[in-house]
């Protein structure tokens, strides 16, 4: 049933994506903010309480609801699965900026492409040369594809395969952990709000741990559907160039898989208007690297190569899940 739930959610999301400023995001901001205000008094152990309530509680609750529904109707359970995945998994939650930037560059309108990148990532893109503009677009798109698609997908499938089969709990827990890690870092870095440092550090460490296996599975998928030897070599050689290990593995493997040069200078400075940096997802420093990978400098054609890499990887993992589902039905 997991295969059909993921397939239906991806198809529906392609035809009816959530809007950019959607009610789910506002609900998450309100929920995580409420838990921080009501359960955090600044001490170290309060960080665990806040993180548990804000991240684990929603997953456990939805898992319990799913088990109750599945007890009465498998069809309703499937619909519940699809609904949860639709809200947590999908390309269209970030791909509109990628597509608009690609179209602007295809028209030769670099000024519009820089404006869109600045709006997407709230980075100062006004002085970026074309290759650096393309590099930032590729890196942020790859990381967004992992966080919005592959990370959710892997956590859903793994938890669905456990004895209790609570796939929605895995998807929600992953998205909540990723969201919380960004939320507390954003409040501390960009809004100047006093934040319990224990809570900020815990949320980032916890998400890094949760994302450890999904990040490596994403990188492995890129290697299989791309240039395998170069992707694995880049993974082993260049992953440490990036500040965060999980992001470094994904970007290094993708760079080798498509033969593009990624990494290099730090991200441009955050512009004065920071209001949407958090809303669009991701850490402004996530793609900061100490050096560059081998490969060709980013060109417009690499955007299409990255899109193809991501979709081929989706097909790969969906085929594997389909085979496992078929084996389970036959067995």
Tell which residue, 283, 331, 288, 307, has the closest CA to residue 99.
307
The tens digit of pLDDT for each residue in 113-136 reads 999 988 888 777 878 888 999 999
In this structure, are residues 58 and 170 in contact, taking their beta carbons and an 8 Å threshold? no
Domain count within the chain: 1
Q: Which of 144-148, 286-290, 298-302 has the lowest mean pLDDT?
A: 286-290
Asked if residue 247 is part of any domain, the answer here is: no
Site of tokens 């890196």 = 139
Residue 213 has pLDDT above 90, yes or no: yes
Reduced to 3 states (helix: H, G, I; strand: E, B; else coil), residue 123 is: strand
Q: Which of 136-140, 159-163, 186-190, 268-272 has the lowest mean pLDDT?
A: 268-272
The tens digit of pLDDT for each residue in 44-100 reads 788 899 999 999 999 999 999 999 999 999 999 999 999 999 999 877 777 888 999
How high is the pLDDT of residue 280? Answer: 46
Residue 289 has pLDDT above 70, yes or no: no
Measured over all CA atoms, what is the biggest interatomic distance in the chain, rounded to whole angstroms?
60
Q: What is each CA distance from 127 to 139, 168, 234, 254, in whole angstroms?
A: 18, 43, 29, 26
271: pLDDT confidence band, cut at 50, 70 and 90? very low
Residue of higher predicted confidence among 243 and 44: 243
Reduced to 3 states (helix: H, G, I; strand: E, B; else coil), residue 70 is: helix
CA distance 159 to 88: 15
Residue 269 has pLDDT above 90, yes or no: no
Asked if residue 38 is part of any domain, the answer here is: yes
Q: Structure tokens of 171? A: 């998807």
Residue of higher predicted confidence among 123 and 269: 123
Asked if residue 316 is part of any domain, the answer here is: yes
Residue 327 has pLDDT above 90, yes or no: no
Asked if residue 126 is part of any domain, the answer here is: yes
In this structure, are residues 176 and 147 in contact, taking their beta carbons and an 8 Å threshold? no
The tens digit of pLDDT for each residue in 134-145 reads 999 999 999 999
How high is the pLDDT of residue 18? Answer: 81
Site of tokens 């006004």 = 126
Across the chain, the runs of DSSP E, i.e. the strands, are: none
Residue of higher predicted confidence among 39 and 86: 86
Asked if residue 240 is part of any domain, the answer here is: no
CA distance 331 to 209: 34
Mean pLDDT of the chain: 86
How high is the pLDDT of residue 176? Answer: 95
Domain that holds residue 38: 2-216+302-330
Q: At 43, phi and psi to the nearest 5?
A: -90, 165
How high is the pLDDT of residue 286? Answer: 52
Residue of higher predicted confidence among 228 and 39: 228
Asked if residue 141 is part of any domain, the answer here is: yes
The single-letter DSSP state of residue 272 is: S
How high is the pLDDT of residue 268? Answer: 47
How high is the pLDDT of residue 134? Answer: 93
Asked if residue 250 is part of any domain, the answer here is: no
How high is the pLDDT of residue 267? Answer: 46
Neighbour-count burial of 20, counting CB atoms closer than 10 A to its CB (0-12 exposed, 13-18 middle, 19+ buried)? middle
Provide long-range contacts, Cβ within 8 A and 24+ apart, for 196-201: 196/36, 196/40, 196/42, 196/46, 196/47, 196/50, 198/43, 198/44, 198/46, 198/47, 199/36, 199/40, 199/46, 199/47, 199/50, 199/51, 201/47
Residue 281 has pLDDT above 50, yes or no: no
How high is the pLDDT of residue 138? Answer: 94
How high is the pLDDT of residue 95? Answer: 82
CA distance 192 to 326: 52
Residue 17 has pLDDT above 80, yes or no: yes
């Amino acid at each position: 049933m997991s295969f059909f739930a993921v397939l239906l959610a991806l198809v529906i999301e392609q035809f009816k994506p959530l809007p950019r400023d959607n009610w789910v995001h506002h609900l998450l901001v309100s929920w995580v903010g409420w838990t921080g205000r009501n359960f955090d008094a600044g001490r170290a152990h309060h960080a665990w309480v806040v993180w548990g309530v804000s991240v684990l509680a929603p997953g456990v609750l939805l898992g319990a609801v799913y088990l109750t529904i599945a007890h009465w109707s498998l069809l309703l359970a499937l619909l519940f699965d699809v609904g949860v995945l639709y809200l947590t998994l999908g390309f269209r939650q970030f791909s509109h900026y990628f597509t608009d930037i690609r179209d602007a560059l295809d028209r030769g309108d670099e000024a519009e492409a820089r404006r869109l990148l600045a709006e997407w990532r709230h980075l100062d893109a006004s002085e970026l040369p074309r290759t650096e503009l393309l590099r930032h677009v590729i890196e942020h798109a790859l990381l967004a594809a992992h966080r919005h698609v592959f990370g959710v997908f892997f956590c859903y499938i793994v938890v669905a395969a456990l004895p209790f089969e609570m796939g929605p709990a895995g998807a929600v827990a992953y998205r909540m952990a990723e969201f919380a890690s960004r939320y507390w870092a954003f409040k501390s870095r960009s809004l100047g709000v006093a934040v319990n440092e224990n809570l900020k550090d815990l949320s980032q460490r916890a998400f890094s741990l949760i994302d450890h296996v999904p990040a490596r599975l994403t990188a492995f998928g890129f290697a299989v559907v791309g240039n395998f030897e170069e992707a694995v070599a880049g993974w082993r050689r260049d992953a440490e160039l990036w500040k965060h290990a999980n992001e470094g593995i994904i970007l290094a493997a993708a760079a080798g898989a498509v033969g593009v040069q990624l990494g290099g200078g730090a991200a441009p400075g955050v512009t004065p208007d920071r209001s949407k940096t958090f809303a669009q997802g991701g850490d402004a420093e996530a793609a900061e690297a100490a050096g560059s990978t081998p490969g060709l400098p980013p060109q417009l054609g690499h955007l299409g190569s990255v899109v193809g890499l991501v979709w081929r990887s989706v097909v790969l993992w969906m085929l594997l899940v389909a085979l496992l589902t078929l084996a389970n039905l036959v067995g």
